[in-house]
Amino acid sequence: MNMSTGGVVRLGRMRRKTRMIGAWVAGCMALAWPMISQAEEAKPNITPAPTVAVSEEPLASLARPEYAISLYGDLKYGPEFTHFDYVNPDAPKGGTLLDSSTGSFDTLNPFILKGDAAIGLGLMYDTLLVQSMDEPFSEYGLVAQKVEVPQDRSYATFFINPAARFSDDTRITADDVIFSFNTLIEKGNPTYRQYYASVDHLEKLDDLTVKFVFKPGDNLELPLILGDIPVLPAHYWKDKDFSKTTFDIPVGSGPYMIKDFEPGRHITYVRNKNYWAKDVPSVKGMYNFDTIRYDYYRDLDVERQAFFAGEYYYRGEFSSREWATGYDKPPVRNGNIKKDLIPNHQPRGMQGFIMNARRPLFADHRVRRALQYAMDFQWLNRAMFYGAYQRTDSYFVNSELAATGLPHGEELDILNKFRDKLPPDLFTKPYSLPDYDQENGRRKALREAMTLLNDAGWELRDQKLVNKKTGEPFRFSLMLRQPGFEKIALMMQTRLRQLGIEMDFRLIDSGQWINRLQSYDFDMTSFWWQQSLSPGNEQRFYWSSAAADQPGSRNFAGIKDPVVDQIIDLVISASNRDSLVQRTRALDRVLLWGDYTIPQWYQPADRLAYWNIFGRPSVVPTKGNSMMTWWIDPDKSKKLGKGGY
């Protein structure tokens, strides 16, 4: 989400089986047999019965195992595909990738709420299926070589590849899948429990086959969600407490194993040369580095300078100022370091300052709307961002899922059902954010903000905003973990003082920030909700009333709105892509008009800088670049003396 992570489910092209027809015919023959015997004695004149048209609808519940599943429509890749288009199947294996991370870590268990897990642990675990990066939501076989889902979506059966092995060469079985599911929902991060809540029970059909039976409902993406289950070794965890943090190196199921680590400083992964799935089509051409090492840095500037010194080889740059001015270095000028803007067509999600609506100060929507005027984005973009960003104005910005203009079509039909519970302006005005650049923009902004605050029970006394009834001043704290945000906080502090509001801000370390965020112990902080092209169950963890009181969920804003809850259910149950888009726009619009965040900004491309030692595929998938499709070029590596050759 870092904890990272979406309708009719079609198994490729669903083929109807004929065995029910066969059974029906056999049953008719059995009933007819004694009648035929009597007829031989009486020899009556028999008039043939008219042909009866047999509807195939009763066959709809039948299914057959398929190599892949898709949420909507046909799959891009057929059953004979050998690799995804966005990989190089002939990429050389070898070399060393040095990478970095910010902060620290205190556990090697990434599946629980406790602790700050080391980066890269996902490389150790395979999932039942693998998501395609160039389709909205399709998955192809990995640990499960096939999956069976009926058209009524009442269950999903996964057929484990007989070749599947853990890193200690133990065979992966149905017992491991069942253990993984039960352990995650019982002892893992609470989000797993909610994510898999629509599973009624599991059935072990044999040593390599597991059936997930679903509760009644329209949770159409559930088979694909289950395809994302990480497969954990039951034999390894048998005598260990899964709920605790640990520095014991675990047995995994994925392409990499931990070689060594020093808590909070570095961790190194080595490619499993005996990885059972290296030639499976869904991973062919990926995981090409023999060694991957992550070094941890406490200071972003130190981390950046370490990159120029060649201490690590690849970085995504999130500072527009540094991208514009900080890369005028010798290795960049001489071509040893490359800078690229790689387009990203994935929804950029919502990055913003969250107002914790659990706090009485932010419980009133009028107050949250008034605080939108704390952000002078136009000035920030000119003065600090070098004009590099666009304003985030949607929870699904940079995609067709974003609500724009006025609601219409199915979106309007949905919103009309809740008209008496929604702001009237939602139906007549596009959602907009303050624009200080318009004529008299600042004066208008302050006037509108003060009007909202007065209506909410606040007034100015001696240049301080106080509660009309209690006299308590309007004061809150902004919790930060990124040093670069301090300058932005100063700008907001200045704007808010013009309203008589006192905003303090404090920079804290990553571990403390995570703990306070997960326990909702903050007034305001900054967060980025990432989104996919196929939103679904995860929306419950982000915005639902149930998630608001659940520690570890991502409903950091404390949203408790029955309208949001019902629209989330509609998103999850959308029967086709068009309906999903319309329903997601309705959800987006209601969230925007709730003003739970002060939206920040986004860049519709990834800023990447890397030492010129890599090869990479010519195709960038719709969902953006993945470093695990790159490889070390031996000739380039030898030339620069970096990369392990």
Instruction: Please state, for a pLDDT cut of 90, what percent of the chain lies above it.
Output: 75
Region 79-85 average pLDDT:
96
pLDDT at residue 365 in the model: 96
Q: Are 566 and 530 in contact (CB under 8 A)?
A: no
Confidence of residue 38 (pLDDT cuts 50, 70, 90): very low
pLDDT at residue 437 in the model: 86
Region 13-37 average pLDDT:
32
Report the distance separating Cα 115 and Cα 518, nearest Å: 11
Q: Which residue has the higher pLDDT, 7 or 624?
A: 624
User: Helices 577-594 and 562-572 meet at what angle, rounded to 10?
Assistant: 160
pLDDT tens digits, residue range 248-277? Answer: 999 999 999 999 999 999 999 999 999 999
Confidence of residue 62 (pLDDT cuts 50, 70, 90): low
CA atoms within 13 A on the CB side of 115: 20
pLDDT tens digits, residue range 209-218? Answer: 999 999 987 7
Token pair belonging to 258: 């931990």
Q: Are 190 and 551 in contact (CB under 8 A)?
A: yes
Report the distance separating Cα 428 and Cα 421, nearest Å: 15
Region 614-639 average pLDDT:
93
Instruction: Please state, for a pLDDT cut of 70, what percent of the chain lies above it.
Output: 90
Which amino acid makes up residue 157? T
pLDDT at residue 612 in the model: 98
57 pLDDT exceeds 80?
A: no
Region 217-233 average pLDDT:
90
pLDDT at residue 1 in the model: 35
Max mean pLDDT among 133-137, 411-415, 509-513 falls in 411-415
Closest alpha carbon to 547 in 197, 188, 112: 197
pLDDT at residue 443 in the model: 86
Q: Where are the beta strands (DSSP E) in 356-474?
A: 390-391, 458-461, 464-467
Report the distance separating Cα 198 and Cα 208, nearest Å: 23
Region 81-97 average pLDDT:
97
Task: Name, in order, each residue with C-beta under 8 angstroms of 529's C-beta and a sequence gap of 6 or more.
Answer: 349, 350, 351, 395, 542, 554
Lowest mean pLDDT among 98-107, 388-397, 430-439, 539-548: 430-439
Region 92-116 average pLDDT:
95
Paired residues of 147 in beta bridges: 66, 158
Confidence of residue 202 (pLDDT cuts 50, 70, 90): very high
10 pLDDT exceeds 80?
A: no
Q: Is 531 left (phi over 0), alpha (psi -120 to 50) or beta?
A: beta
pTM assigned to the model? 0.73
53 pLDDT exceeds 90?
A: no
Closest alpha carbon to 614 in 330, 345, 328, 340: 340
Q: Is 297 left (phi over 0), alpha (psi -120 to 50) or beta?
A: beta
Q: Are 243 and 556 in contact (CB under 8 A)?
A: no
Confidence of residue 46 (pLDDT cuts 50, 70, 90): very low
Report the distance separating Cα 118 and Cα 109, nearest Å: 8
Confidence of residue 49 (pLDDT cuts 50, 70, 90): very low
Report the distance separating Cα 253 and Cα 261, nearest Å: 19
Q: Is 384 left (phi over 0), alpha (psi -120 to 50) or beta?
A: alpha
Region 540-557 average pLDDT:
93
23 pLDDT exceeds 80?
A: no
Confidence of residue 73 (pLDDT cuts 50, 70, 90): low
Phi, psi of 139 (to 5 degrees): -135, 145
Confidence of residue 345 (pLDDT cuts 50, 70, 90): confident
pLDDT at residue 344 in the model: 77
The mean pLDDT value of the chain amounts to 88
Region 430-447 average pLDDT:
87
